[in-house]
Amino acid sequence: QSVLTQPPSVSAAPGQKVTISCSGSSSNIGNNYVFWYQQLPGTAPKVLINDNDQRPSGIPDRFSGSKSGTSATLGITGLQTGDEADYYCGTWDSSLSAFVFGTGTKVTVL
Amino acid sequence: QVQLVQSGAEVKKPGASVKVSCKASGYTFTSYDINWVRQATGQGLEWMGWMNPHSGNTGFAQKFQGRLTMTRDTSISTAYMELSSLRSEDTAVYYCARVDTGDKKWDYWGQGTLVTVSS
């Protein structure tokens, strides 16, 4: 099982906001950058957030990332039907000397 | 534009090996690391390892040590991931992804390669 824990699912109505948590430890989130990925059904993952809170070019500002201690959060505002996807956090784990992904969260737009 | 194009689907028998390629274009191949990630059907993402195409240096997740090889051919800007001693649990979609060697930012991903291990 993953060392990064995410809620299995979150949901909200169109236009609303959702937040996805990613809980880790001092060996991973606590001392390394966090990344967030979006995976639309049947497609390859796409990077949403680099370095805790940096959006790559082309990613709308509806998506935001933050980190505090050993947890990180992805926020999505102005929820759209096209945001229905699986979302994963990821970071380097210094104890494992490996990159680790979170358990994944399915976002449903009601 | 930057592209990572992977080889096609494979069907292998238990105990065999599979080699998946990832051809890069639109950038200097040796300036970015290539990471490999896999995903079993209905499951989450699993990081396998990384390779620096310039030096050939690699790093693997513990669970793949001894079974995983990553190589490259810089003349054709292609990275390879070879997994040996295949078992049914290795059935998954395998992705390559580009990661900046310096700041470790992830950006482009390949389209994925389905590897099916079945007798």
Q: Is the pLDDT of residue B39 over 80?
A: yes
The beta-carbon neighbor of A101 closest among B44, B110, B112 is B44
A101 vs B: CB within 8 A: yes
Query: Strand ranges (DSSP E) for B1-119?
Result: 3-6, 10-12, 18-25, 32-39, 46-51, 58-60, 68-73, 78-83, 92-100, 106-109, 113-117
Q: Give the closest-approach CA distance of B105 to chain A in angstroms.
A: 6
- Residue A97 has a pLDDT of 93
Mean pLDDT of chain A: 96
Q: Percent of chain B having pLDDT more than 70?
A: 100
Give yes or no for a contact between A84 and A109, defined as CB atoms under 8 angstroms apart. Answer: yes
Q: Is the pLDDT of residue A19 over 90?
A: yes
CB contacts of B106 in chain A (<8 Å) are 35, 37, 47, 50, 90
Give yes or no for a contact between A15 and A77, defined as CB atoms under 8 angstroms apart. Answer: no
The string of pLDDT tens digits covering residues A54-88 is 999 999 999 999 999 999 999 999 999 999 999 99
Number of neighbours of residue A62 by Cβ within 10 angstroms: 14
The reply to whether residue A99 touches residue B50, judged by beta carbons under 8 angstroms, is yes
The reply to whether residue B105 touches residue A56, judged by beta carbons under 8 angstroms, is yes
Q: Give the closest-approach CA distance of B59 to chain A in angstroms.
A: 8
The string of pLDDT tens digits covering residues B43-95 is 999 999 999 999 999 999 999 989 999 999 999 999 999 999 999 999 999 99
The beta-carbon neighbor of A104 closest among B44, B50, B95 is B44
Q: Is the pLDDT of residue A2 over 90?
A: no
**Interface probe with B: pick from A5, A99, A103, most Cβ of B within 10 Å:** A99
| Banded pLDDT at B104 (limits 50, 70, 90) | confident
Beta bridge partners of A59: none
The reply to whether residue A2 touches residue B104, judged by beta carbons under 8 angstroms, is no
